[in-house]
Chain A
């Protein structure tokens, strides 16, 4: 069955037709061409498909597009301001937290969700926040460092 939904993605409003079975991940990647959001396990395990929905991170493979009717979505493309990268993105690059990059968009959105709620996390809290994001390359150490570093930069920005 076809449904017409309206939602905001990275601040832009859309009105789109979707099928009942379409998952948010496919809507984002295929209809909106925002391919920064990655397609991994499609079962809620890997976090590659993480987006923010109404301010909190979700697995976009586990949300039907029609369930996102009326919601506000932020994908990795929505973080930078034009050419200016978000502090978390910068820090990931600087700390070498990106290797193949497949996990990175999801990882960064999970990090952002954490820092939005808690701008001074412990390393334990960082580990918990990204436990739904699998990285097969980096061994997590550099990712953790990057998030801690971004947190301190962002706290500095506020001062």
Chain B
């Protein structure tokens, strides 16, 4: 465990200046639930920790179109307390409620979860499925990114070391949509062995207008399985195409696993993971479909 200095800037400009100044010697600190564990294990040895909790980056705001902007420093528990999220993005509440422990959720932030770029993040798959955007700031200004382009490899995002993630933006959740994230894990506090997020939008009660299936935990970064989603779009959702989409998603596991041997066998073997993904995907499509139908009827 190396020693570090703790710095707590009072404004964004000051924080960006410090990060630009210290370069790779500094690490932003949010809830610390990932960072402090890795520091203690000697996996990282920052010389400076730059606490982002004084920058006013917490809270949820509703945009004009009914979408939301989630401050990067919002804790997971603060989102569980958000009535707007509970009412309009209840599938998100369901996911948050099943993450870590109360103690972890009181510290862990949404931004930390995303910036950590861990393959086992429980938020990344659903946020990707929804088409979320990330907003970041550095000394030379702000930029907005599609989350799809955000993750590079485990622990690596497109953000440079002097950029700060400020918000995660979600589009409004349509009355014709349904979403769910299902994961398989060994026990309540364990990280996911495999996770599948499904987001469906219906045209009418029968036809699927848009679909996104995202795989988590089985690949270095979450993967959008386009072929599987395409199986559903424009079609009436039935047993046959659910089965097909689930098969294609399970096949995607073999593809992505080639890139990540280490993930194989650490917490589950590859064939087991494929089996799990297939059944999770089929279940998730069914649930998302039912939810979309229900909200149309409401």
Interface residues of A (CB under 8 A from B): 1, 3, 19-21, 23, 42-45, 47, 50, 53, 56-59, 62-64, 66-67, 110, 113-114, 128-129, 131-133
Contact = CB atoms under 8 A, between A and B. Distances in A.
B59 interface: no
5 closest pairs, A vs B, by CB? A132-B101, A20-B6, A1-B5, A59-B103, A56-B106
Interface residues of B, number: 25
Interface string B1-30: 101111010000000000000000000000
B260 interface: no
Contacts of A53: 106
6 contacts: A44-B100, A58-B103, A62-B33, A66-B6, A113-B102, A131-B101
A85 B3 CA distance: 40
B101 A62 contact: no
A128 to B, nearest CB: 8
Interface in B185-215: 188-189
A59 B97 CA distance: 18
Contacts of A67: 6, 32, 51, 53
A58 B100 CA distance: 12
B106 A58 contact: yes
Contacts of A19: 3
B86 interface: no
Nearest to B36: A62
A58 B107 contact: yes
Given A20-B6, A59-B107, A44 B102 contact: no
A107 B8 CA distance: 32
A21 B104 CA distance: 19
A43 B37 contact: yes
Contacts of A50: 103
B68 to A, nearest CB: 23
Contact of A56 (B36, B77, B188, B189): B77
Contacts of B3: 19-21
A110 B101 CA distance: 10
B40 interface: yes
B253 interface: no
Given A20-B49, A67-B51, A129 B6 contact: no
A62 B107 CA distance: 9
Contacts of A57: 102-103, 106
B162 to A, nearest CB: 21
Contact of A64 (B6, B97, B103, B189): B6
Given A56-B102, A62-B33, A62-B104, 11 more contacts: A1-B5, A20-B5, A21-B1, A42-B40, A44-B37, A44-B101, A47-B103, A56-B106, A58-B106, A63-B32, A132-B102
A62 B32 CA distance: 7
B53 A132 contact: no
Interface string B38-76: 001000000001010100000000000000000000000
A50 B4 CA distance: 24
Given A21-B3, A42-B40, A66-B6, A132 B107 contact: no
Contacts of B4: 20-21
A44 B103 contact: yes
B104 A59 contact: yes
Contacts of B37: 43-44, 62
Nearest to B3: A21
A64 B51 CA distance: 11
Contacts of A1: 5-6
A44 B6 contact: no
Interface string B93-125: 000010011111011000000000000000000
